[in-house]
């Protein structure tokens, strides 16, 4: 019986190590190569194979600076100064969740969100959060801040089967991501917490509030 348990334990350890090696190899490859698919895209596609995924890669300098400033202001104001984890932000999120008695804030950085989008799934669990932390730690040491933001903007969800800023700007405004106006960039950054909900609710009061906050703070946001 002990030998059987030991074999199972060794198999589990081996599986975990293989997964970490796969993640490391993927991050190494993506340091210089476009990310054409993510775990979130695969899950979306296989849940409804009749609807194609809208996605088109754009290099960092082909994306509007308005959008970069707006997204950093909206999602991770300390992006340029932290090492992947915003400990103060997580503490504030925990306090807010405790006060409300439910989950109302996450406190995840852009790096953590990207780690989840690339390799994981949306369901919350301690295992997922632990793996997310490992991926974030590796990513922050293997990639520059510019690369992290570039991949994030190219892979984050902007609506039903819409991934990446180029597909989003084509869908919402019929133009390229390079030519986004300030107001258009603010709108796209504002829908990120719940893009499928806001996709057809452009006059929602919560969305209007987020747009005002982004407009107020995007001037102060620092980008690579």
Q: What is the pLDDT of residues 182-213, one digit of tens each?
A: 999 999 999 999 999 999 998 999 999 999 99
| pLDDT higher than 90, residue 25 | yes
Chain centroid to CA 206: how far?
20
* Cβ 164 vs Cβ 56: under 8 Å: yes
* Cβ 146 vs Cβ 108: under 8 Å: no
Predicted local confidence at residue 35, as pLDDT: 97
β-bridge partners, 159: 162
CATH number of 18-27+59-220: 1.10.3810.10
Looking at per-residue pLDDT, the higher value among 148 and 97 belongs to 148
Chain centroid to CA 87: how far?
18
* Cβ 143 vs Cβ 224: under 8 Å: no
The Cα–Cα gap between 50 and 40 comes to 16
The Cα–Cα gap between 58 and 13 comes to 38
The alpha-carbon radius of gyration of the chain (Å, integer) is 19
Residue partners of 216: CB distance under 8 A and separation at least 6: none
* Cβ 39 vs Cβ 51: under 8 Å: no
* Cβ 110 vs Cβ 76: under 8 Å: yes
Predicted local confidence at residue 210, as pLDDT: 97
Determine what percent of the chain falls in helix, strand and coil, rounding each to the nearest 5.
65, 5, 35
- In 3D space, the residue among 188, 166, 187, 167 whose CA is nearest the CA of residue 177 turns out to be 166
pLDDT band at 65; cut points 50, 70, 90: very high
Q: What residue segments make up the domains of the chain, in order of their start?
A: 18-27+59-220
Convert 171-190 to b/e letters by CB count within 10 Å (16 or more is b).
Answer: ebeeebbbebeeebbbbbbb
The SS3 of residue 184 is: helix
Predicted local confidence at residue 49, as pLDDT: 86
The SS3 of residue 158 is: strand
Predicted local confidence at residue 106, as pLDDT: 60
pLDDT band at 92; cut points 50, 70, 90: confident
Copy the structure tokens of residue 151.
């991949």
| pLDDT higher than 90, residue 104 | no
pLDDT band at 181; cut points 50, 70, 90: very high
* Cβ 168 vs Cβ 152: under 8 Å: no
């Amino acid at each position: 019986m002990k030998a059987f348990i030991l074999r199972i334990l060794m198999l589990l350890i081996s599986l975990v190590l293989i997964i970490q090696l796969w993640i490391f190899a993927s991050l190494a490859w993506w340091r210089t190569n476009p990310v054409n698919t993510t775990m979130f895209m695969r899950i979306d596609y296989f849940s409804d194979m009749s609807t194609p995924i809208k996605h088109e890669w754009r290099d960092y300098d082909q994306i509007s600076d308005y959008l970069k400033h707006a997204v950093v202001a909206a999602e991770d104001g300390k992006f340029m100064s932290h090492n992947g984890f915003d400990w103060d932000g997580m503490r504030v999120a925990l306090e807010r969740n405790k006060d409300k008695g439910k989950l109302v804030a996450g406190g995840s950085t852009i790096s953590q969100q990207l780690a989840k989008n690339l390799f994981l799934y949306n369901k919350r669990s301690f295992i997922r959060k632990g793996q997310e932390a490992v991926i974030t730690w590796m990513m922050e040491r293997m990639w520059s801040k510019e690369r992290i933001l570039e991949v994030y903007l190219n892979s984050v969800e902007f609506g039903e089967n819409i991934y990446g800023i180029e597909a989003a700007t084509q869908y919402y405004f019929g133009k390229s991501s390079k030519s986004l106006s300030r107001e258009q960039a603010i709108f796209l950054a504002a829908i990120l917490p719940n893009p499928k909900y806001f996709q057809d609710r452009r006059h929602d009061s919560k969305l209007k509030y987020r747009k005002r906050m982004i407009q107020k703070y995007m001037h102060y946001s620092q980008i690579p």
